[in-house]
Chains A and B, each alone.
Chain A
C-alpha cells in the first residue's frame, strides 16, 4: 500500500512488525510458546491464557504482499499437491514446507507450540494435519456444527439475542470443545484458565468494536469517505488479532478519533470521490494498489470491505455472564455470516445501502474454491437492490493468473457503463 493518510495506519503497521519481532525473540531466546491459528478461531482464549497467536490468513497475506506466493505454491505443487487445491489457507504451510527461513518474510515463522483450526471446509483439517507434521507440533481441531435455523437479519439479533440466533446445540458443542482447548492450553502454558479474565477481555472486545462501529457510521454518513478501504483494513485487522487487549482498544479509539477529526474538518480520502465501491470477499493481498486505481480516472473510491464492517456486527456480545458461551456464539457462525445464504447476502445488501454504495466488486477466488460459495446469492441480491455487480475471478494470495492492467481496464469499463 503506497500512501498512508492516517497516523493510525502507520502506527498499526509498525506495531504489528514490532509485535512479530518480539514474538520471534520470545520464542528463540526465551523459548516461550506461541500458536498459529486459523483466522476464525477464538483468539480470546489464547490471549487470556497468555499464549501469543499468529493468524494463518494474516501470515498468508504477508507472504503474498512480499510477492513470495508463486515460489511457495510452485514448490508445493512440485511435492505432489495438485494445482486445484486451496491457496489462501495453505500458503503459510507451503512456506514451512519450502523450508527457506532466509527468504521468508521477517525471518519466517518459528516453530509453534500448537496450531489450531475450526473445521469449516473439508480441506482445512488436511492442510493443518500436513502442516503440524512438517512443524513437528500438535494440531488442535474444533469441529464445526452446521446451522439449521438462519433468521435473515442476523445482525439485529447477534448482540443481545445471540443464544437464540446461534442455536443452543451449536453453542453447547462449541463450549464443550473450548473446554478441551483450555485444558490443552493449560498444559502448554502451565497457567490456569481465568474465567473472570475472559469476561474482562470480552468486555474490552465490545469497547473496541464499539469504536469501530463509530468509524463505520462516520464512513456511512460523511459526504465522502474519510478513510480508504486499504487503511481501514490495516487499522482494523491489527487490532482484531489482539482484540480486547489494552493496545487494541486504545488503537481502535485513536483510529476513531482520527477519522472523526477528518470528518469534522471535511477531509476526504479522495476529494474527487463521485462513486462509492464495495469489495466483497477477502482482500486482494498481492495487489492492494488495485483498490486505489479507479480514483483519479473514474472518481471511484472503495469505501467498504467486510473487515471493518463485520467488527461491530460480528463481534459485539452483550450479556457476558457466561463468557465462554458468548465467545462460542462469536465463533460458531463466522463462515455463514460472511459467505453463506441467507446471512451473507442479506447483510451485504444492508451494508451496501447504509454505505450508499454505487457498485460492488465480488471476488470469486478460483484458487481457494470453498471461499467462492455464496457469491451468486450475494450478486443476485445486490443487483436486485439496484447495486450493479462486477464478479472478479482471482485469488487473494496467488498472483499467477492476475493481470492487473487488464483488470483495471475491465473495472473501468464497468464503472463507466454501469454506475
Chain B
C-alpha cells in the first residue's frame, strides 16, 4: 500500500499496482473476471457476482507473444495481455471478456482460444467475445442488444446463477457513482486547470482497477483536495491518438511547461462518459451506454468518431499533441483530417511518432516538444 494515506496517493498506488484489488478479491473468495477494454460492460460482470478488473500487465519480456504473435502488428498492451494469459499470470481469473470494438481484441480472442485448443497451455481462463459493433446503424444497434443479452446469459452460466434485475440496478448505481467521481476529477482540468495531466491520469485510471464504491469515495476525496489547490499556469494541451495507460508522455509534455487538460482516449478524459440510465430496460440501458458513449477505433462514421474531439477543442485549448507511436496503423488515417480541422480553427498541433511507453523519448522529440510548447505559450 502507498506510503502516504492521501486519497490521491492511494489511487495512484492502485494505478501502479493494477491487479492488487483483483488479487485481494480472489483471495477473499470473490471470483475475478478480466476485461480487455472500456467497451466491456463491467456492470453486468459485477451484477453476476464477479470482481471486474481491466487487464493492464506491466511491460516485460514476451517470449510467448513472440512465439505466437506477429511482430509489429499487435499493440504492446495486447501482447502483454497475451503474454500474461499464456504465461499463467491470469490463471486465477474465472474468465476474460474481450470486445469486438477493436480488431486487435478480436484477434487476441481468437489467438487465446487457439492456444487453449492446441493444448499448449493448461489452466488458462476461458475467453468470451462480447459482440459489440461500433458502426452506427439500426442493424448494429439491434444486434448489440441481442449480444448484450447473450453476454448476460454467458455470465449467468459462469456464475451458476441467474442475474437478478436488482443486482444489475445496484451495479449500475455503484458504477454511476464512480463515474460521477471521475467527472469531478475531470472538471478540475477544465478552464484554468488545478490538476496536471500527470496527476490526473492515475486518478482516472484507477477507476478500471478498483471496486467501484471504494474508488468513488477516494476519487471524490482527491477531487476535494485538488479543488483547494491553486490554478496551474501553462499552455493547455489535448493529447489525441493511441490510448495512454501510463503518464510518461504527459510528464514529458508537462516538463516543458504545458498542462495536458484532456485526452481523447479511454484511459483519460473519455473513460466513463455519461451515466447509464437507471430507467427502463437495464440491459438495453447498459448496452446503449457502451454503444453510443464509449470510444473505440471502430466507431463509424467519422463524424461520430470525431464528435468529442471537435467539441472539446472548440471549448478552448492552446494546442493538440497527436500521439501515433510506431505500432499505429489505424489512427494515422484520421490524422490529416483532424489536423485540417485544427488548422481551420488556428490551433497548432504536434505529432509524436515515437513510443513513449517503454523508453524515454529521444532528445529530438524533447526539442520539438519544447519548441512547440514555447511557441503556443507565446501566442496565448
Interface pair A373/B73, CB less than 8 Å apart: yes
Interface pair B73/A148, CB less than 8 Å apart: no
Which of B106-114, B157-165, B225-233, B255-263 participates in binding chain A? B106-114
| CB < 8 Å neighbour of B102 from A122, A147, A372 | A122
A173 in contact with B139 given A120-B103, A364-B70 (CB within 8 Å): yes
How far is A341 from B337 in the complex, measured between Cα atoms in Å? 35
Q: Is B58 an interface residue (CB 8 A)?
A: no
CB 8 Å contact bits of A51-81 with B (1 = contact, 0 = none) = 0000000000000000000000000000111
Interface pair A122/B324, CB less than 8 Å apart: no
Q: Kindly provide the distance from the CB of A167 to the nearest chain B CB, expressed in whole angstroms.
A: 10
A80 in contact with B139 given A125-B298, A370-B329 (CB within 8 Å): no
Contacts of A147 in B (CB 8 A): 110
Interface pair A119/B72, CB less than 8 Å apart: no
Interface pair B69/A376, CB less than 8 Å apart: yes
CB 8 Å contact bits of B95-122 with A (1 = contact, 0 = none) = 0000010111011011101100100000
| CB < 8 Å neighbour of A180 from B100, B139, B330 | B139
Interface pair A145/B339, CB less than 8 Å apart: no
A129 in contact with B70 given A85-B333, A180-B137 (CB within 8 Å): no
CB 8 Å contact bits of A115-132 with B (1 = contact, 0 = none) = 000011111011101100
| CB < 8 Å neighbour of A146 from B100, B111, B326 | B100
Interface pair B70/A373, CB less than 8 Å apart: yes
Q: Kindly provide the distance from the CB of A391 to the nearest chain B CB, expressed in whole angstroms.
A: 9
Q: Which residue of B lies closest to A127 (CB)?
A: B333
CB 8 Å contact bits of A123-153 with B (1 = contact, 0 = none) = 1011101100000000001011111101010
Contacts of A176 in B (CB 8 A): 139, 142-143
Interface pair A84/B106, CB less than 8 Å apart: no
Within 8 A of A (CB), among B60-82: 67-70, 72-73
A86 in contact with B137 given A80-B339, A342-B114, A376-B67 (CB within 8 Å): no
How far is A121 from B100 in the complex, measured between Cα atoms in Å? 11
Within 8 A of A (CB), among B313-344: 324, 326, 328-330, 332-337, 339
How far is A370 from B75 in the complex, measured between Cα atoms in Å? 12
Interface pair A342/B302, CB less than 8 Å apart: no
A121 in contact with B103 given A173-B139, A176-B139 (CB within 8 Å): yes
Within 8 A of B (CB), among A139-191: 141, 143-148, 150, 152, 169, 172-173, 176-177, 180
How far is A380 from B129 in the complex, measured between Cα atoms in Å? 25
Q: Kindly provide the distance from the CB of A404 to the nearest chain B CB, expressed in whole angstroms.
A: 23
| CB < 8 Å neighbour of A81 from B110, B114, B139, B336 | B336
Contacts of A364 in B (CB 8 A): 70
How far is A79 from B337 in the complex, measured between Cα atoms in Å? 10
Contacts of B147 in A (CB 8 A): 169
Q: Kindly provide the distance from the CB of A155 to the nearest chain B CB, expressed in whole angstroms.
A: 17
Interface pair B133/A145, CB less than 8 Å apart: yes
Contacts of A148 in B (CB 8 A): 128-129, 131
A80 in contact with B335 given A125-B300, A373-B70, A376-B69 (CB within 8 Å): yes
Q: Kindly provide the distance from the CB of B358 to the nearest chain A CB, expressed in whole angstroms.
A: 17
Query: Which of A80, A84, A120, A169 is packed against the most chain B CB atoms within 10 Å?
Result: A84
How far is A190 from B111 in the complex, measured between Cα atoms in Å? 45
Q: Is B371 an interface residue (CB 8 A)?
A: no
Q: Is A336 an interface residue (CB 8 A)?
A: yes
A125 in contact with B102 given A370-B329, A376-B68, A377-B114 (CB within 8 Å): no
A129 in contact with B302 given A80-B336, A82-B332, A84-B328 (CB within 8 Å): yes
A84 in contact with B329 given A342-B114, A373-B107 (CB within 8 Å): yes
Interface pair B117/A342, CB less than 8 Å apart: yes
Interface pair B131/A372, CB less than 8 Å apart: no
Interface pair B139/A146, CB less than 8 Å apart: no
Q: How large is the interface on B (under 10, 10 to 19, 20 to 34, 35 or more residues)?
A: 35 or more
Interface pair B143/A169, CB less than 8 Å apart: yes
Contacts of A86 in B (CB 8 A): 329
Within 8 A of B (CB), among A362-381: 364, 366, 369-370, 372-377, 380
Q: Which residue of A lies closest to B135 (CB)?
A: A143
Number of interface residues of A (CB under 8 A): 48
CB 8 Å contact bits of A174-212 with B (1 = contact, 0 = none) = 001100100000000000000000000000000000000
Q: Is A340 an interface residue (CB 8 A)?
A: yes
Interface pair A123/B298, CB less than 8 Å apart: no
Q: Kindly provide the distance from the CB of A402 to the nearest chain B CB, expressed in whole angstroms.
A: 17
How far is A283 from B229 in the complex, measured between Cα atoms in Å? 62
Contacts of B142 in A (CB 8 A): 176
Interface pair B109/A146, CB less than 8 Å apart: yes
Contacts of A372 in B (CB 8 A): 70, 72-73
Q: Is B140 an interface residue (CB 8 A)?
A: yes
Interface pair B137/A143, CB less than 8 Å apart: yes
Contacts of B107 in A (CB 8 A): 340, 373-374
Contacts of B150 in A (CB 8 A): 169
How far is A342 from B117 in the complex, measured between Cα atoms in Å? 9
Interface pair A145/B329, CB less than 8 Å apart: no
Interface pair B70/A119, CB less than 8 Å apart: no
Interface pair B100/A145, CB less than 8 Å apart: yes
Interface pair A369/B73, CB less than 8 Å apart: yes
Q: Kindly provide the distance from the CB of B14 to the nearest chain A CB, expressed in whole angstroms.
A: 30
How far is A24 from B117 in the complex, measured between Cα atoms in Å? 50
Interface pair B70/A375, CB less than 8 Å apart: yes
Interface pair A82/B353, CB less than 8 Å apart: yes
How far is A196 from B246 in the complex, measured between Cα atoms in Å? 57
How far is A380 from B324 in the complex, measured between Cα atoms in Å? 32
Q: Kindly provide the distance from the CB of B38 to the nearest chain A CB, expressed in whole angstroms.
A: 15
Contacts of A369 in B (CB 8 A): 70, 72-73, 329
Q: Which residue of A lies closest to B133 (CB)?
A: A143
Interface pair B139/A130, CB less than 8 Å apart: no
Contacts of A144 in B (CB 8 A): 133
Interface pair B297/A122, CB less than 8 Å apart: yes
How far is A80 from B143 in the complex, measured between Cα atoms in Å? 36
How far is A148 from B150 in the complex, measured between Cα atoms in Å? 12
Contacts of B252 in A (CB 8 A): none
Q: Is B301 an interface residue (CB 8 A)?
A: yes
Interface pair B140/A143, CB less than 8 Å apart: yes
Q: Is B146 an interface residue (CB 8 A)?
A: yes
Contacts of B335 in A (CB 8 A): 80-82
12 cross-chain CB contacts under 8 A: A81-B333, A82-B328, A82-B353, A85-B332, A122-B297, A148-B131, A152-B117, A173-B139, A180-B137, A336-B110, A340-B107, A373-B70
Give me 14 other A-B pairs in contact (C-beta within 8 A), A119-B298, A123-B333, A143-B300 excluded.
A81-B336, A85-B332, A86-B329, A119-B135, A119-B300, A122-B330, A130-B333, A141-B300, A143-B133, A145-B143, A147-B110, A148-B131, A169-B131, A340-B107
* Chain A positions near chain B (C-beta within 8 angstroms): 79-82, 84-86, 119-123, 125-127, 129-130, 141, 143-148, 150, 152, 169, 172-173, 176-177, 180, 336, 340-342, 345, 364, 366, 369-370, 372-377, 380
7 closest Cβ contacts across the A-B interface? A126-B333, A341-B114, A80-B336, A122-B297, A143-B135, A146-B100, A176-B139
